[in-house]
């Protein structure tokens, strides 16, 4: 999905891979934090439509993600995604999770721009997550 490896994509990759033994729970935590920040701004409906679109695109490469569509029950928006990720090995789960997040963030960037998206990511994941990733990628 991610054809070009932009700094933004590297940040996402790093965030997902921060604990290789817990890809699923780390991913869900990233999603939860992003959702709580974004829903406050663009509303539940806005978030859900972007999320569904991203899943739809990611399913092309990872058909097993299809089970991850949000369920109707409140509070378990990412339960399906968690189950899907937990059922896969490290490589598959991490690649799919990274691809899904990258797709989502890229769509967000096309809609509201790089700087506003970065500012939202910062608020959601914390300055550390973003700054360390940028610093590391500079050193590489």
Partner 1 sequence: MSNKVTIRRLATGVPGLDDLLGGGLPEYSFNLIAGTPGSGKTTLAHQIMFSLANPDRRALFFTVLGESPLKMLRYQQQFPFFDVAKVNQSIKFVNLAADLLDGNLDRVLARITEEVQNFSPSLVFVDSFRSVVQSSKAVPGDVSDLQHFVQQLGMQMTGWQATTFLIGEYLAPEAESSPVFTIADGILWLSQHLHRDSMVRKMQVVKMRGQAQSPGMHTFRISDGGIEIFPRTLLPPGNIGKLTIAGDQRLSTGVPALDEMMGGGVPIAYSLLSVGPSGSGKSILATQFLAEGVRQGEPGVIAAFEKSPNQLLSHQLNELIESGKVGLIDTRALDLSIDETLHNLVQMINGMKAKRVVIDSLSGFELALAPVFRENFRESLYRMIAVLTGLGVTVLMTAELEDRYTDLRFSSYGNAFLADAIIVQRYVEIDGQFRRVISVVKIRASAHSKDIRFFDITADTITIGERLTHYQGILSGDASSTLKS
- Shortest gap between Cβ of 102 and partner 1 (angstroms)? 19
Q: From CA 118, how far away is CA 3, in angstroms rounded?
A: 20
Contact (CB, 8 A) for 133 and 10: yes
- Shortest gap between Cβ of 11 and partner 1 (angstroms)? 17
DSSP symbol at 89: -
Q: Between 44 and 61, whose beta carbon lies closer to partner 1?
A: 44
Q: From CA 137, how far away is CA 61, in angstroms rounded?
A: 26
Q: Between 16 and 120, whose beta carbon lies closer to partner 1?
A: 120
By CB under 8 A, name the binding residues for partner 1. Answer: 39-46, 50, 111-113, 115-116, 119-120, 122-123
- Shortest gap between Cβ of 109 and partner 1 (angstroms)? 11
Q: Between 4 and 115, whose beta carbon lies closer to partner 1?
A: 115
- Shortest gap between Cβ of 74 and partner 1 (angstroms)? 10
Cα torsion 87, 29, 78, 84 to 10°: value is -10
Q: Between 96 and 120, whose beta carbon lies closer to partner 1?
A: 120
3-state DSSP helix/strand/coil percent for the chain, to nearest 5? Answer: 80, 0, 20
CA within 13 Å, CB half, 32: 12
């Amino acid at each position: 999905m991610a054809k070009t490896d932009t700094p933004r994509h590297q940040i996402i990759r790093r965030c997902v891979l921060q604990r290789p033994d817990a890809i699923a729970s780390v991913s869900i935590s990233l999603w939860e934090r992003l959702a709580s920040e974004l829903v406050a701004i663009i509303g539940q409906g806005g978030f859900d439509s972007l999320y569904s679109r991203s899943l739809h695109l990611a399913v092309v490469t990872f058909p097993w993600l299809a089970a991850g569509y949000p369920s109707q029950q409140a509070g378990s928006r990412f339960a399906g995604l968690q189950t899907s990720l937990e059922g896969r090995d490290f490589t598959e789960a991490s690649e799919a999770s990274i691809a899904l997040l990258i797709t989502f963030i890229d769509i967000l960037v096309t809609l509201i721009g790089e700087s506003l998206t970065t500012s939202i990511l910062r608020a959601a994941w914390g300055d550390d997550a973003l700054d360390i990733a940028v610093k590391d990628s500079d050193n590489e």
